[in-house]
Structure 1
Amino acid sequence: MGLTICHYSPFHEVIEGGIKRSIRQQRKVLEKEKQIELVTDAGKDYNILHLNLGDPLSVYQMFRAKRSGKKVIFHREDI
């Protein structure tokens, strides 16, 4: 695989509503892409970190990824 995306959302199991649905849909789309490997564990190797929530664990992973020179996609649907 050429590109690995970490779709990190530590609280997606406990949240409800539109954000949970959005996370599920995003992962479904990414899993269909043949050139993309999808991981959800930020401890694994990846090229791009994708975040949906501004929780403390996600913010920590964002700074960790940036220090490592990795790209970060960080957006929120609840604003």
Structure 2
Amino acid sequence: GLHMARTLGDLGRALDTDVSPLGTETSTDSLLAIDAEGRVYALDHTGDWYLGADIDQALAGLVTGLEPARLVAP
């Protein structure tokens, strides 16, 4: 669990917002996170992914298998 705090801290600094754990996506073991604005992200060994502007959009994408947008450095 300690690596999760560092990972979420790094993401929060990169996005300039507070980020909290939300859960995991079981088929890929991705860490799901939500920021202070309600946006949802997935973090795994392949990168960081934007799942949606809110929990409803994120869940719809996960359920339907919609490919999320990869977060990239500006």
Higher relative contact order (CA 8 A, sep 6+): 1
Whose strand fraction is larger, Structure 1's or Structure 2's? Answer: 2
Q: Look at both structures and tell me which one has the larger radius of gyration over its CA atoms.
A: 1
Q: Same fold (TM over 0.5)?
A: no
